[in-house]
């Protein structure tokens, strides 16, 4: 998300050819605004009142290894994981961060020895999340170095592999490439939630990253959490957050606790659920609808293609379904080398494959934006596809 924030598009200015310009549809960022309609439907159920006297201390829980972790937030995280069954929380340390973006940096700091002669190599299988190389290289650290595609890494030296599953950008379900002996794995599970993919097992990796942004849609709260097995690693992550931001917003944690608890409550008995639509049902149905529209538009012609995604049984919902990721990894099939520029001409902003260590024939398209924009995108894509095809 970082690469193009500086060029966040303004509305296009009308050109002097007398034509009325089409509005630019921005599907470049994975801004999860789709979820706003759910939270609007919920009215005041997730409203939190924070008084003037609250949050006057830096500290939340001095007995906890993560001293800036609000106990209510920790409880809500554990409760939701136990309900969904997507991650093991027992015997784990929860480390809260300003988005999982900060936690990723804390992990790098925690895992790379401070006095090593050479920086540690950081790899991820391409196509990988475009922010990993940007974050890793941003400060030209002596601790770590971005080495790109994990499949190409053959050095016999320690390294860290980032495993994102379901993957951003292509939605694939991933295992570590992990062919060397000195590899440390970090699992980014931002999308391992039942609106996107069947929950097939309770993951119990050593370091797992989650974020509010892609689970509940509250990207603006800037909260993520890590589930960490090893105490020494968790302590070093906490140290990093202490140095970089002296903790994490308590106000955000109090609000997030409420949001997560309200989600869990929607799965309670009739009294506690208050007859609200269960949160992940809403998310699942919305993603299913949007993927249906996209496949229909792509199938109208030969201009584009989509990856095949695995089907599985979800232990949480008992549904059997195919992964329906937050992003589509679209390939331009015809004589178009630069898919991003091609779609931009049609006033559709996407992120090109090169950002993800892949070919320009691909673009990543966000499926989690506002309904209105998404429908307009589908309309334009269908039109391009039917005009371009023989
Ligand atoms: N990891 C992945 C795989 C992501 O897609 C994102 C959000 N685009 C993040 C991490 C960062 O999330 P946050 O908003 O919590 O910083």
How close is the Cα of 178 to the center of ligand 1, in Å? Answer: 22
pLDDT at 180: 64
Rounded to 5°, angle at Cα 54 from 80 and 45: 40
Prediction ipTM score: 0.99
Ligand 1: nearest atom to the Cα of 102: 16
Q: How confident is the model at residue 7 (pLDDT cuts 50, 70, 90)?
A: very low
pLDDT at 21: 62
pLDDT, tens digit, for every residue of 166-191?
999 999 999 999 766 789 999 999 99
Is it the case that residue 30 has pLDDT exceeding 80?
yes
pTM of the model: 0.93
**Which residue's alpha carbon is nearest to atom 6 within ligand 1?**
190
Q: Which of 190, 193, 241, 325 to mutate to test the pocket of ligand 1 (most atoms within 8 A of CB)?
A: 190
365 in Cβ contact with 328 (< 8 Å) = yes
How close is the Cα of 190 to the center of ligand 1, in Å? Answer: 6
Q: How confident is the model at residue 145 (pLDDT cuts 50, 70, 90)?
A: very high
Ligand 1 pocket residues where CB is under 6 Å: 1, 30, 99-101, 129, 164, 168, 188, 190, 211, 213, 219, 224
Q: What is the mean pLDDT of the chain?
A: 92
**Which residue's alpha carbon is nearest to atom 2 within ligand 1?**
190
Rounded to 5°, angle at Cα 187 from 181 and 192: 145
How close is the Cα of 215 to the center of ligand 1, in Å? Answer: 10
Q: Which residue has the higher pLDDT, 283 or 334?
A: 283
Q: How confident is the model at residue 272 (pLDDT cuts 50, 70, 90)?
A: low
pLDDT, tens digit, for every residue of 225-268?
999 999 999 999 999 999 999 999 999 999 999 999 999 999 98
Q: Which of 101, 216, 351 to mutate to test the pocket of ligand 1 (most atoms within 8 A of CB)?
A: 101
Q: Which positions ≥6 away from 24 have C-beta within 8 Å?
A: 9, 11, 12, 347, 348, 349
pLDDT at 256: 98
Q: How confident is the model at residue 22 (pLDDT cuts 50, 70, 90)?
A: confident
Ligand 1: nearest atom to the Cα of 129: 3
pLDDT at 270: 61
Q: How confident is the model at residue 76 (pLDDT cuts 50, 70, 90)?
A: very high
Q: Which of 27, 97, 130, 168 to mutate to test the pocket of ligand 1 (most atoms within 8 A of CB)?
A: 168
How close is the Cα of 376 to the center of ligand 1, in Å? Answer: 26
pLDDT, tens digit, for every residue of 331-357?
999 767 899 999 999 999 999 999 999
**Which residue's alpha carbon is nearest to atom 13 within ligand 1?**
99
Q: Which of 34, 98, 99 to mutate to test the pocket of ligand 1 (most atoms within 8 A of CB)?
A: 99
| Other beta carbons within 10 Å of 318 | 8
How close is the Cα of 210 to the center of ligand 1, in Å? Answer: 8
Q: Which residue has the higher pLDDT, 385 or 388?
A: 385
How close is the Cα of 101 to the center of ligand 1, in Å? Answer: 6
How close is the Cα of 351 to the center of ligand 1, in Å? Answer: 15
Q: How confident is the model at residue 387 (pLDDT cuts 50, 70, 90)?
A: confident
**Which residue's alpha carbon is nearest to atom 15 within ligand 1?**
99
Is it the case that residue 361 has pLDDT exceeding 70?
yes
pLDDT at 389: 56
Ligand 1: nearest atom to the Cα of 191: 3
Q: How confident is the model at residue 84 (pLDDT cuts 50, 70, 90)?
A: very high
């Amino acid at each position: 998300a970082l690469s193009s924030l500086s060029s966040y598009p303004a509305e296009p200015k009308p050109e002097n050819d007398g034509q009325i310009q089409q509005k630019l549809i921005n599907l470049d960022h994975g801004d999860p605004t789709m979820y706003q309609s759910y939270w609007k439907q919920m009215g005041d159920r997730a409203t939190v009142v924070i008084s003037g006297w609250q949050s006057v201390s830096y500290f939340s829980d001095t007995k906890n290894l993560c001293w800036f972790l609000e106990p209510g937030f920790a409880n809500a995280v554990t409760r939701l994981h136990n309900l969904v069954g997507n991650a093991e929380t027992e015997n784990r340390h929860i480390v809260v961060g300003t988005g999982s973006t900060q936690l990723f940096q804390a992990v790098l700091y925690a895992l790379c020895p401070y006095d090593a002669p050479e920086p540690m190599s950081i790899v991820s299988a391409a196509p990988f999340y475009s922010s990993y190389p940007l974050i890793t290289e941003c400060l030209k650290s002596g601790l770590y170095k971005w080495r790109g595609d994990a499949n190409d890494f053959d050095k016999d030296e320690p390294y860290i592999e980032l495993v994102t599953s379901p993957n951003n950008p292509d939605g694939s379900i991933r295992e570590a490439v992990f062919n060397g002996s000195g590899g440390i794995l970090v699992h980014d599970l931002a999308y391992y939630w039942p609106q996107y993919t069947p929950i097939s097992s309770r993951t119990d990796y050593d370091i797992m990253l989650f974020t509010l942004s892609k689970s509940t849609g509250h990207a603006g709260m800037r909260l993520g959490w890590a589930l960490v097995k090893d105490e020494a690693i968790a302590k070093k992550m906490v140290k990093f957050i202490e140095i970089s931001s002296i903790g994490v917003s308590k106000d955000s944690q109090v609000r997030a606790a409420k949001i997560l608890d309200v989600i869990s409550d929607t799965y309670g008995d009739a009294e506690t659920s208050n007859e609200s639509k269960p949160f992940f049902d809403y998310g699942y149905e919305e993603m299913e609808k949007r993927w249906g529209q996209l496949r229909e538009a792509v199938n109208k012609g030969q201009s584009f293609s989509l990856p095949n995604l695995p089907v599985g049984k979800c232990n949480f919902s008992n549904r059997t379904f195919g992964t329906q990721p937050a992003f589509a990894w679209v390939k331009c099939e015809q004589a178009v080398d630069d898919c991003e520029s091609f779609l931009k001409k049609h006033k559709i902003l996407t992120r090109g494959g090169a950002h993800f260590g892949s070919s320009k024939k691909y673009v990543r398209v966000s499926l989690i934006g506002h309904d209105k924009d998404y429908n307009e995108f589908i309309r334009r894509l269908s039109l391009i596809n039917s005009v371009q095809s023989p």
